[in-house]
């Protein structure tokens, strides 16, 4: 059973990542603060939005329900009963890759495992949900980078 401080942190992360809203806000903030690279930040934020949308599309095709074992305590509400892939893991991975590149900092190792673990602590995903979600986020982020280069984005 998870300890209360860990659960509080996991719930905060869940709220931040819900519908990728926190990550989209970071991208928009970057666009406001870093005017010379505004287009880069907006392209990166669009990549995060696409990653989130891709995870929702896959969820609707696969239709895997969230864990329902009596030994698993669900510690947070969710917008749907579908779990595969984790949209939180998808958008966090895309954000870490895209924003990390803009900031010149490796963010994946710091952000992705903690978000993935939070989904397991809260009892709303299977391990495979977060692994595949992270992979999907990485694929979308790489595609966004390619799209950005084709459109003339500087980084």
Average pLDDT, the chain: 89
Query: 147 vs 139, which has greater pLDDT?
Result: 139
What contacts 24+ positions apart, CB below 8 Å, involve 39-42? 39/153, 40/102, 40/148, 40/153, 40/154, 40/155, 41/102
pTM: 0.88
- The average pLDDT across 84-98 equals 96
């Amino acid at each position: 059973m998870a300890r209360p401080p860990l659960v509080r942190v996991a719930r905060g992360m869940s709220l931040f990542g819900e519908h990728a809203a926190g990550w989209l806000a970071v991208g928009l903030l970057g666009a406001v603060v870093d005017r010379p690279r505004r287009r880069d930040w907006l392209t990166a934020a669009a990549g995060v939005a696409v990653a989130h949308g891709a995870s929702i599309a896959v969820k609707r095709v696969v239709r895997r329900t969230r864990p329902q074992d009596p030994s698993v305590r669900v510690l947070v509400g969710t917008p749907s009963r579908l779990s595969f892939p984790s949209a939180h893991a998808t958008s966090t991975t895309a954000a870490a890759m895209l924003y990390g590149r803009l900031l010149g900092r490796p963010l994946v190792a710091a952000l992705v495992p903690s978000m993935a673990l939070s989904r397991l602590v809260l009892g709303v995903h299977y391990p495979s949900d977060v692994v595949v979600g992270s992979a999907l986020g990485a694929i979308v982020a790489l595609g966004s980078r390619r799209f950005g280069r084709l459109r003339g984005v500087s980084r």
